[in-house]
Structure 1
Amino acid sequence: MSVVFCNTTPFIALASINRLDLMPRCFGDVHVVTEVIDECAVGGRVKVPNLRMLDWVIPVVSQPVVHTTLLLELDKGEKHTIDMAKRNQADWVIIDEKIGRNLAEYLGLRVTGTLGILLKAKQQGWIDSFLEAVHSMQQYGIRYHPNLVQKLAQRVNE
């Protein structure tokens, strides 16, 4: 069974289109540091359900961050997600923010994000349209680089 950690933004993005179910479909159980659970609970424009109530979410209590200088630029959720993913030799870390993705990859972690989940969902027939899902998320203020969206959409003939 693979070990997967997820940061805050993918939960918010998928919750915005009521498709949190795509995460466990793609990865099974997902490890989530308590900082991310707390960030999602604060609320905002998009309501994320209580992550502790989802049977596929495995809460993880963080430890003091090891790579502090490297992870200095990140917010608390990203910092602890990447650190605990590294400590637990995660197979995947789901993170959308570019700096966080770059640092995770630098530390040797395999990275995907919300768009990767949507791409797989489209390929598996779990959603009708990759672009429609992205556009729906954008209505909630969730942003992705247009060139990346276009490139991924072409992979699924959209």
Structure 2
Amino acid sequence: MPNRAVIADASTLIGLHKIKGLDLLQQLYGHVEITSIVKEECAVDLPGWIQINDRYDPVAYRSLYPSLDAGEASSIALALTLENVLLIIDERKGRKWARSMGVPITGLIGILIRAKQRGLISSGKQQLNSLREQGFRLSDRVYELALKEMNEE
């Protein structure tokens, strides 16, 4: 398991919960940190290996919150306080802000690609289709690129 802090935003957790894939995060990263704001946004029971960490920079949070939702802002603000971090975030605007601040990111699709490459799931296509059925926004372009990365063209 990587020796890094892994922080997740709500949309990733909600998406994985809907397709019964939350355990993939534990298998890939060991534990994940979220802010209490993200926990509230999820509104689902989360396993104990997902830990609350509210030691984010309040100045960074306040500077991000006008442009982003509270969960995204708190997740990025937390990522900025930690070293060797990976932020799992899906919303385009949040990803753009995180990148501009030098925060390494991935998203739900990146998690599924990595899980497939490590043999943790048998069918990436099935997972992607399930996400779409659950209402997760996934463009045809990203869908096709993900299948290619999973060798499921």
TM (norm. structure 1) is 0.87
**CA-CA distance at 1:78 after TM superposition:** 0.3
- Inter-partner Cα distance in structure 2 for 1:67 and 1:11: 21
Displacement of 1:67:
5.7
AA in 2 matched with 1:20:
L
Q: Could you tell me which amino acid in structure 2 is paired with residue 96 of structure 1?
A: D
Please list the CA deviations of residues 64-119 of structure 1 after superposition, one character each: whole Å capped at 9, or x if unmatched: 24264455221000000001111123520000111101111111111001101100
How high is the sequence identity, in percent, across the aligned residues?
A: 33
Name the count of aligned residue pairs: 149
SS of equivalent to 1:96: coil
**Gap change, CA 1:91 and 1:77, over 3 Å in 2:** same
Q: CA RMSD in A?
A: 1.5
Structure 1 gaps of 5+ residues are 42-47
Select 1:58's aligned residue among 51, 54, 57: 51
Normalised by the length of structure 2, the TM-score is 0.90
Tell whether the 8 Å contact from 1:71 to 1:103 is kept in structure 2 after alignment: no
Q: Is the 8 A contact 2:57 2:80 kept in 1?
A: no
Runs of 4 or more, structure 1, over 4 Å off, are: none
CA distance in 2, matches of 1:137, 1:129: 13
- Residue 157 (structure 1) shift: 1.7
Q: Which runs of 5+ in 2 are unaligned?
A: none
Does structure 1 conserve the Cα–Cα contact (< 8 Å) formed by 2:85 and 2:103?
yes
Report the AA paired with residue 131 of structure 2: M
